Amino acid sequence: MDKNFKDWMDGLKPSERMPLLFIGHGNPMNTILDNAYRKSWELLGQKLPKPQAILSVSAHWLTRGTAVTAMPNPRTIHDFGGFPDELFQQQYPAPGEPELADELIVMSKSHEIRPDYNWGLDHGSWAVLKPMFPLADIPVLQLSIDYHQPMSYHYELAQSLQKLRDKGVLVVGSGNLVHNLRRMNLSGKSFDWALEFDQKLAEIIEKGDDQQAMDFQQWGELSKLAHPTYDHLLPLFYVLGLKRKDEAPVFFNETIDLGSVSMRSILYHQ
């Protein structure tokens, strides 16, 4: 784990507004491996104020229209294949909170959100939340991503939900700033285009130019290599929409895994 990030977390000051996270989740095995990624998630759980509830926006729930889980006990979804049995045995029995789902639906204003009673928590949510909050005693809602909408839709929907953070809700966007599994390099050497896209996007995020970040498709072949599909980048735009003007990004896990998956993660805190 990066010592600078650990030192920064040690100095984290209390705030009435809940922090905001974008987590590069990568390989689902990270939830059970003893590695730097999991250790950073554990540190977050130890140092962040305990949330009243968690809203997760995962790259792994793509829908037509937007939905939010509204059941009292969301199931743990093992939406992957080819991994050891130990991973399939993992459960995260966090409760839901139907009342908060209703409040979120009202809060979203012109962006229609429907309640969902079938989905649950996919690995984009539970694989990072389990190391953070292993007791599974905090209510968790998951918000779906309407893959058919423009980038601005996700950003503006998130803006309408900003008050959640003032109500003790921790929002976690779970995806990756670079995600191309077709070009994985098992030797671990990072592709130049992966490094370039990751660094370029990080600089834009640091400047606070959200519109330029949403215009990533204009970067031509670079964006096509970094994201053959956009699912793993879309959670970022929810995080950018939920941040406030007085918050600056703190980066951690600034590495490329398997050559083509950025694990760079972001914390916003007042």
Helix axes 151-159, 234-242, angle to 10 degrees: 30
Residues 3-22: tens digit of each pLDDT: 688 888 888 877 889 999 99
Burial class (CB in 10 A: 0-12, 13-18, 19+), 131: buried
Q: Strand runs (DSSP E) across 37-112, as ranges?
A: 53-63, 66-69
- How much is the pLDDT for 186? 80
Contacts 24+ apart (CB under 8 A), 129-135: 129/54, 129/56, 129/92, 129/94, 129/172, 130/31, 130/90, 130/92, 131/31, 131/38, 131/41, 131/42, 131/45, 132/41, 132/42, 132/44, 132/45, 132/48, 133/45, 133/54, 133/94, 134/45
| 0.85 surpassed by pTM | yes
Neighbours of 156 (CB within 10 A): 17
Residues 154-213: tens digit of each pLDDT: 999 999 999 999 999 999 999 999 999 999 888 879 999 999 999 999 999 999 999 999
Residues 57-75: tens digit of each pLDDT: 999 999 999 999 999 999 9
Neighbours of 35 (CB within 10 A): 13
Helix axes 36-47, 123-132, angle to 10 degrees: 60
Pairing status of strand 261-262 against strand 113-116: unpaired
The three-class DSSP label of residue 2 is: coil
In angstroms, rounded to a whole number, what is the distance separating the alpha carbons of residues 233 and 213?
10
What structural domains and CATH numbers belong to the chain? 3-268 (3.40.830.10)
Cβ pair 126, 76 in contact under 8 A: yes
Residues 67-111: tens digit of each pLDDT: 999 999 999 999 988 899 999 999 999 999 999 999 999 999 889
